[in-house]
Structure 1
Amino acid sequence: MNSDGICYILGWEFQVHVEGRDRRLGTDWSMLKWHVRDLCYSPDGTILVVAAGSSLLIYAAEDAELRKTLKGHRDTIYAVDWSHDGKYFASGSADKCVIIWKATSFEGLVKYKHNDAIQSLAFNPSTLLLASCGCTDFAFWTLDQESVVKTKLPTRATCCSWKFDGQYLAVGLYNGVISIRNKATEEISRIERPGSPIIWRLRWSPIKGERELLAVVDWNQKLSFYQLCGKQLIYGNGHSVQQLALVPKVGKDRNLAFDPCDVTWFGPKCDAVATCGSDRSCVLYSSEGNRLCTINQQQSWIWCCRKRPGENQIVVGCQDGTIETTQLLLTTVHSLYRDRYAYRESLTDVVVQHLVTQQKARIKCRDYVRKIAVYKNRLAIQLSDKILIYEPSTDDPTDMHYRVREKLSQTIDCQLLVVTTHNLVFCKANHLTSMNFQGVREREWVLDGAVRYIRIVGGPPTRETLLVGLKNGQAMKVILDNTFPIQLVKLLGGIRFVDISRNRDKLGVIDDNNTLSVFCLRSKEMLFQEPNVVSLAWSTTNNELLSFSGSDSISIKAGLFPSYAQHVKGVVVGFCGSFIHCLHENTISRVEVSLAPAMYYYLEAGHLNEARQMSCHGLTDPDWTALGQAALSKLNLEIAKYAYIRLGEPLMLAFIQQLELLTREIQIPILQERRRRAEWSENETTPSPGALTAMGDVATYLGKFSEAAALYTRAGAGFGGLRRVVEMYTDLRRFDDAREAMGPGGDYEEQKQLMTKHADWARSTNEHHIAAKMYMDAGEFAKAIELAGEHGWTDVLLEISRRLDKGNRDCLERCAKQLARLGEYAFAADCYARYGDVENQLALHVEARNWEEAFSLVEKHPEHTGRVYLPYAQWLAENDKFEEAQAGFECHVLPLFHYQPSVEQFWKPVYKLQRTVCLLFHFNGCKKAEATLGEVLRLAKESRHLLRLFQHTPIYKQLPLVEFVPENGISHEMAMEYLKSDVRKQSPDSVKYNHTAANPENNASQTLKISPGDPFFEQDLFTAKLLNADLNSGPYTPVQLDAETLRSLAVSEVIVIEPSPPLRPRYYKSVLPEVHVTQCLTCHKLFNTDDYELAVLRMGCCPYCRTPRE
């Protein structure tokens, strides 16, 4: 490997010797050495075809074994090529013939001729189409055509190449012209090289996209690149930075300084070309024409070179018959510091990637990139003959725009390169050299062994610290302003990797055996070792966290706890927070890892502060919950509060606040010690009752109920321990445990309260019968009565009534009401009787029609006679027992006459009663009742006269109203909407009232005729409906009006009676609007407005329903 980071491996080399006769010289040789004119690989890269003299040599590409020699040409073969599908290959010779060979049997398939010697062959990359160029013409051959049609060229053709998509063919001519033609042989573009040099070779890049370029070499010793349109390309000035973009510019050719014979594209992305020729070497150039390196050197001209498909391998064919393959191993050139990663791409570009924002910037150097170094805001790039130092354009930590700060025009041969704030550090063998940005060497260190690894770990400007791993096993610390390096550790084997922890107190070293050793720098002792490790990285945020990779996995180790692995491909190069930077196949990725196992390690060890630090790096809510619970169990309220603030749980925060108040109130030294150390030691004295209570509260909130019960019990009843146990089990609905904790000698009120809560829970779980029994046992009879009444449990109500004391009047009344509602009047009356409520007893007997019990009770309490006789009389009347009913009414009314004064307020109900009797009995009976009343009331004759004064003789007047109903399908709401619209429209079906005189011979008569056009009734649709209605025949039916007629009515002329449901509304139309009609809104009776107002002024109420009116 050279200092450029390229390793050259010689695959195989030999010279071609062909037996035969040289016909051109006429000399018979037993063995001739032929120069190699052309060669090509099969598409899979397993077979190499070599054109040597007039023979085709078939070699195995892996070991150069000669498999076949094909002789079909009579003169020198100038060109060979392979089809894209690998089934055929072709050869063209100076004998003017083209032969297509079968790749499976190596037999000839087709042979056709040109007019002159064959100069070049090219198979189409997408179809089986062969382009062959002679000196004066070119032709296309396909498998399905019988003859080959040739196209004349203005001058001699030298080379040809198909574009990658197979649509266009570029033909190089002897006069310096490049002709680009389509499949129909039409020329679509023409490129004329300045000076008309011979176009000796050209090739299209085998890749699609923006990089579809045509590489051209001519015998003016120039290399140039063209687009399909004929524009020549060259890129930038080599010092600008663009955000991963290629901006093409028209430019000049690249000078080769030799006569080129062949050109081929090289690299996995075809971003370079290899040229060979008269300088006896194969040189690698970038796709922009920048010379990169020499990859092969020979003793004679190199006539041809080809890249092996799928490999970074180049084969060359020389004039002296030598064929040699060279394998190029390109090492990764990159550098990383914190969140910036820089790497080489396309051998001439540097890409800087910000690992957090994932932004990228490309720096196009236009030269071969040898070394890269990154440190904070510095980027150093070593090129072939200079070193460029870049810095960001602004102070923004995420800025990805770089500018050149310094330029050192020096060629420095080194193995490793490190950049600091103001210095460059070069490493070669066991020498370290510090140089400032002006190119002045400031200091040099000579170490005891060769440097294997170097890493910058930071420090003040000009005083940065370097970690150096030597081949002899020493790990050294070098400070830029210190002449003497400091040895940190010494291993038995060589050191391949070294890194230091965040606090600079631990050192991780990987030796040649891939063993990771971690040392404590204070005591110089080894802390632990890990096998099969290829890289390591200490966390930049936590001093105890270490990550290392090996065997396609990354392991995380926290302190001295066991490590845990996560499957990730690549090697770890950085560790920040919960993210690890992994390098895999020249690509760095940011992978998030879980630190939960590390946190739980610290929780098990009781290190809450370290566990909190781990939790701050992307842990989930369950992990924070575990941390909060562990902190509460340790009574570390500060960490617990921090955890539950992150979780956003206000209930737990309120509980922690209560604990803080408790610890301040009881002022327990042991709690203060707990808060300071965040631990509980077994050697501490027994906690006080206050501490036990606090610990029990914590255990309760954490769901450790058995532990909480034990702690409360230890606290004792003096601190409410027993009460807390009972409350805890009650809240958990574990009532049996609560009763067991309370014991048989517990307080009666507490037991009653516990039983009530048990009943409430049973009720909430729909176990209502059990809940009712529990309510009775707890003495909550009101709730038991309510529950039994809801479900109609008569037996439960009876049991409750028996268990109730007569002094509990409220519960007895509730029980009686529920029994009465269920129809158990006798039991309900018994409940009323227990506390002497005669009125409710009579009401129940009357409601149950139990007249015997009612009358027997009235005999004992005669003051309640009226409460029985009136409903009894009404019941008799309803059952057609009128005489008995009359006697009952007498028993109800006579006491009223005896005890009430003769005032209007008394006689009004009497008048109503008389009206009721008139309705219920015939008039003779009414007169007899009135006469009887007269005999009884002899002593109140004046009162009889007053009574007569209040008897009004009703005079009914016929009001000018006509009833109507809406048609079927018109609801009340719709009808009201039509009436309120008040739109008077002309109906096409209006009626006319005509007096028509009939002819004398037809017995003249006067008739009412309904016909359209009468001006008298043209606008009155209601009258037309009324006249058309048949009101005399059949039962009475109101007039039915449709929607149009309803709209024609004036709302002021319509009266709507809206009684309570289920009665339906009734509608009336005033036919004499000048007669005003008033409706009572209580009884819905209709009155003449003048009469109604007079009655209201005299009586202050409705004359019918006696409802007061203002």
Structure 2
Amino acid sequence: MMNGVVSIRNKNGEEKVKIERPGGSSSPIWSIAWNPSKDEHNDILAVADWGQKLSFYQLSGKQIGRDRTLNYDPCCISYFSKGEYIVMGGSDRQASLYTKDGVRLGSIGEQSNWVWTCRVKPDSNYVVVGCEDGTISCYQLNFSTVHGLYKDRYAYRDSMTDVIVQHLITEQKVRLKCRELVKKIAIYRNRLAVQLPEKIHIYVLKSEDPTAMHYHIKEKISRKFECNLLVVCSQHIILCQEFVGATDPKSSRLLMAKQADWAKSSKEPRAAAEMYLSAGEHMKAIDIIGEHGWADLLIDIARKLDKAEREPLAKCAYHFKRLKHHGYASETYSKMGDLKALVELHVETQHWEEAFSLVEKHPQFKSDVFVPYAQWLAENDRFEEAQKAFHKAGCQDEAVKVLEQLTHNAVVENRFNDAGYYYWMLSMQCLDIARESEDKRDEMLKKFERFQRLAELYYVYRSIQRYTDEPFSSHMPETLFNICRFLLNNLTKDIPPGISKVNTLYALAKQSRKLGAYKLARYSYEKLQELHFPSRLLESIELGSLTIRSKPFHDSEDLIEGMMCYRCSTNNPFLNSQGSVCINCRQPFIYSASTYEVLPLVQFYLEEGISDEEALSLIDLEVPHSDQKNAPGHVVDNGEPQSLKLEDDLDNAEEDPFTAKMSFEQGGSTFVPVKVSRSVLRSMSRRDVLIKRWPRPLKWEYFRSLLPDVSITMCPSCFKMFHSEDYELLVLQHNCCPYCRRPIDEPN
């Protein structure tokens, strides 16, 4: 605080420790920082105040050591990630590096204004400095090796302010604390010279024993020297302004490599690695660094290497992968320009977003990413996403296998809505394969037809299963009545797994009785008596079979009229062993995919030689009759669901060429489709036509509305048709098509 006090409080805000700096308000405290090191025995708090002092305290409030004089007003203090160094800055207009004990090691960078903030990037040697004038500077600190070697004695700098002397034979070590930055080290026989910022210390061994390790200071030279190399002799020191052997780089590297070999054999891997780097032996240095897991040092090497040095870069990337440093490995492969290795890295480490981003720029790696991604999804039971990934990768066979597994699971688990959706996806997958592969076209088109049929059967059975298994049903009796009849009309001898004929007949019997179709209800109960049904339904079926006998032996006339064929006006029975077709003209019925009422649509076909594009253009060329110019209704066809809006007053059947084409020979046993010529197409109103625009190799399907007052909407994805009001309500409820689950905001 500004009064020179540091208050240490618990998480509830209660003060536990109070530290008062000498000088009080004349020493306001501008920055504090906890040492993040996990190796310290106590929590250590560094305090920088404008009495120009740096001090250290334990959590108890006890000061550690003496105050360090700064000679400037400190504004910021920041520890390295492991707590080994401190960065400070302030009114001296520079950021400085200190040891964890507060010994100044040197300037990181001079600025033109006060330094107000400084931060160290975690687990790295990068320092960012912010100044009063708004400028931000970033520095990378390189801690070079300072060392010396003479026969069996090796001396090197440690923690920037200490010197460790190691006997390479006995492996004994001794630490000399200099408490200042060690700049140069030289060793010869029994002498050791250490250059500090403002002086040089000369140490000698206390004993002549060749294994002795006890050094003491013999001389202090209090003078600042600038030199490239320090050499100590028996009676003198030599300061070299140019590096010895600089004229012979090969010899210099050889010497450095031998020193590195010594360091490696003496179990000083970090020193050995740095010497190998100085000698240009990158591969040896990288192996040592990688084996010891020093990722920070390794990335520094990778960043300094030229991108053409592929072998050492590849070795760096290998170690990053092994050490699970995905970011560093990615950076290295990117520098090399090795896109394939980069893709493999993202895949192996399951960094899928990075892999997808790379594939967007380089689509040639699509299969390298999406195939393993799909396999990973499948292994994690995310089959639906796996199918889409296989499909995106172009692996159609795998996509189909995953979908088949999904469908099987859905049926086994009685998730019939999902089963219907997966069968629809399977059918579209088969259509994709048929379009891309001529060899498989016939086989895939047959599968497409089968899967389309199964998709609709499971889609409708979902409602029956919910009615029989759950206490409440969201469907109106008329809808369940229609669904049961549709399902029974379309079930062959081979009933798909999971679909129960018992449940279907039971639901039909109940709804038939409720709606007055007593004859159909009696038939349903009789059929149920021929089947094996669960004991839970026994009482209800037997009671229903008895009570239905008290009802009339006929069906409601209103229900019968609802089964009229819109082509030949024949009233059809509720159940038809021939399927969902008219018993008279064999015209297939078109159902609403919500209520399964028969829609007033008749499918027609194009005469030979008329293409889909030509047919569309002929219909679009329609010139309205004089009495139709103001007729209400329209079809919107802009990629969204096609909506057929027809309201009233279009009674021109005697003038309509299409109506003439609907005629057929009575009593025929084969279906005669409605085929239209160019003149008939030209006479049609685009408002009256719905088109299923199937992708190739399928042909488009055309439907003509015969009731102007019925509004019909078709999904542009699955081509299922609905009463418009039903479709709009379902889409609002689910935000997607209820059949194919196409999102409402998805472009067509």
* TM-score category of the 2 structures, normalised to the smaller one: 0.3 to 0.5
**Structure with the higher helix share, 1 or 2:** 2
Return the TM-score normalized by structure 1.
Answer: 0.23
**Structure with the higher strand share, 1 or 2:** 1
Structure with more relative contact order (C-alpha pairs < 8 Å, separation 6 or more) = 2
Return the TM-score normalized by structure 2.
Answer: 0.34
Structure whose alpha-carbon radius of gyration is higher: 1
